[in-house]
């Protein structure tokens, strides 16, 4: 990844590249279909999808990161379009393009290696840079701005809820004490505050890991956008359309798992009611697979170790994307 000056392009290895695209089952007449890559990143999945599509196929990708949008601009393919926004806006974006249903949706959640490895983005506690953490640097409040204005109680709640950090309120207290003395504007500065507040930590894990994760998720509203995006993807899937989601931590995977299960398990009415079998609620999704990266992929890309991919297929009548 690079900024407007001299930061070199940082490398990103797409996790579960072949498996995720294979799970969309783009073959035969489905190669003529419309697909959504909700998280373009550096385009690994998108480029592979385009290789599978026929000349009549179409791919609509989304990303909030301006640098991802710049990367996408290099794809000279009339079948491809990039939308500079979150996949949570999928319903509006598809409606604006006259698309009522799609044949597959792929979501690769979390942050990419170039985002983590670019100190200027503020995602990493290992690199000293401005405390930004925004996926979209053109809008919204940075992590530094949020820490400067939020209450100590709410900072603690965010770190606890989104970071699953047991020392959340001790960390929040330390943040509040430091900001009363000086602004908290750098990643190394925040990491040091957390390190002094956390009494014990799992072996091999930096004390700041959970706090940085929590603040990043909150600043970017990642879990809220995931809920909205999953519902939009489901509503727009054509019969037999596939939904493939790769998550990297338990909070994301829990949302994906529960969402897919809720659509795969139809609510059962009271057995005492006189309801015909034909009128019983029917499942709307079929759960197909759950997969983790193989040892060989993890050895070549350690950041893949926490990835979980879940795949489901739309069954029954399509509910109508405009609803």
Q: Which residue has the higher pLDDT, 300 or 11?
A: 300
DSSP 130: B
pLDDT band at residue 232, thresholds of 50, 70 and 90? very high
* 49 domain-assigned: yes
Domain assignment present for residue 125? The answer is no
pLDDT at position 320 is 44
Residue 25 phi/psi, 5-degree rounding, is 55, 50
Assigned domain for 191 exists: yes
pLDDT at 4 over 50: no
Is 4 domain-assigned?
no
Give the CATH number, domain containing residue 179.
1.10.150.170
Looking at the structure, do residues 263 and 284 belong to the same domain, yes or no? yes
Least confident of 34-43, 88-97, 279-288: 279-288
Report d(CA 287, CA 160) in Å as an integer: 31
pLDDT of residue 3: 35
Q: pLDDT confidence of 13, banded at 50, 70, 90?
A: confident
Domain count, the chain: 2
pLDDT in tens, 158-216: 999 999 999 999 999 999 999 999 999 999 999 999 999 997 777 778 899 999 999 99
Question: 61 with 204, same domain?
Answer: no
> Is residue 115 a known part of a binding site?
yes
Instruction: State whether 155 and 301 are in the same domain.
Output: no
The CATH number of residue 299's host domain is 3.40.50.150
63 assigned binding-site residue:
yes
Last residue of a domain, one of 189, 219, 249: 219
Domain closes at, from 219, 245, 261: 219
Answer with the one of 186, 219, 252 that is the final residue of a domain: 219
Residues 27, 98, single domain; the answer is yes
Q: Is residue 1 part of a domain?
A: no
For residue 1, pLDDT over 50 is answered with no
Is residue 43 a part of any domain in this protein?
yes
Question: Average pLDDT, stretch 126-148?
Answer: 95
Asked if residue 100 and residue 42 are part of one domain, the reply reads yes
129-133, 137-141, 201-205, 298-302: segment of lowest average pLDDT: 201-205
Write the DSSP assignment of 175-209 as a string of letters.
HHHHHTTS---BHHHHHHHHHHH-----TT--TTH
CB 285 within 8 A of CB 220: no
* Mean pLDDT value of segment 9-25: 84
Q: Is 44 annotated as a binding residue?
A: yes
pLDDT of residue 116: 87
Q: Mean pLDDT of all residues in the chain?
A: 90
Q: Which residue range(s) make up the domain with 163?
A: 137-219
Region at 47 (left for phi over 0; alpha for psi -120 to 50; beta for the rest)? alpha
In our burial notation (b when 16+ CB lie closer than 10 A, e otherwise), range 129-155 reads: bebbbbbbbeebebbbbbbeebeeeeb
The reply to whether 229 and 212 lie within a common domain is no
Is 43 marked as a binding-site residue? yes
Q: In the structure, what pLDDT confidence band is assigned to residue 275 with cuts at 50, 70 and 90?
A: low
Alpha-carbon gap, residue 227 to 65, rounded angstroms: 20
**Residue 323 belongs to a domain:** no
**pTM flag (> 0.95):** no
How high is the pLDDT of residue 114?
84
Is residue 180 one of the residues assigned to a domain? yes
């Amino acid at each position: 990844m690079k900024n407007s000056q001299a930061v070199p392009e940082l490398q990103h290895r797409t996790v579960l590249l072949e498996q995720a695209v294979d799970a969309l089952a783009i073959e035969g007449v489905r190669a003529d279909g419309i697909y959504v890559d909700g998280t373009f990143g550096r385009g690994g999945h998108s480029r592979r999808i385009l290789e599978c599509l026929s000349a009549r196929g179409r791919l609509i990708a989304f990303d909030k990161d301006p640098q991802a949008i710049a990367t996408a601009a290099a794809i000279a393919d009339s079948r491809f379009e990039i939308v500079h926004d979150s996949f949570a806006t999928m319903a509006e974006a598809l409606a604006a393009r006259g698309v009522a249903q799609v044949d597959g949706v792929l979501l690769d959640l979390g942050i990419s290696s170039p985002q983590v490895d670019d100190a200027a983005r503020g995602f990493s506690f290992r690199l000293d840079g401005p405390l930004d953490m925004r996926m979209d640097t053109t809008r919204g409040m940075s992590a530094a701005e949020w820490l400067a204005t939020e209450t100590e109680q709410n900072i603690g709640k965010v770190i606890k809820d989104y970071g699953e950090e047991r020392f959340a309120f001790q960390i929040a207290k330390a943040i509040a004490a430091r900001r009363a003395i000086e602004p908290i504007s750098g990643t190394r500065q925040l990491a040091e505050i957390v390190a002094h507040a956390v009494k014990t930590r799992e072996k091999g894990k930096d004390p700041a890991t959970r706090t940085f994760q929590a603040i990043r998720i909150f600043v970017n509203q990642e879990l809220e956008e995931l809920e909205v995006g999953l519902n939009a993807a489901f509503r727009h899937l054509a019969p037999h359309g596939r939904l493939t989601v790769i998550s990297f931590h338990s909070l994301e995977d829990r949302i994906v798992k529960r969402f897919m299960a809720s659509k795969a398990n139809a609510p059962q009415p009271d057995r005492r009611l006189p309801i015909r079998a034909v009128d019983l609620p029917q499942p709307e999704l079929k759960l197909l697979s759950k997969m983790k990266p193989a040892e060989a992929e993890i050895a070549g890309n350690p950041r893949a170790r926490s990835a979980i991919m879940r795949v489901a297929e739309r069954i029954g009548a399509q509910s109508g994307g405009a609803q």
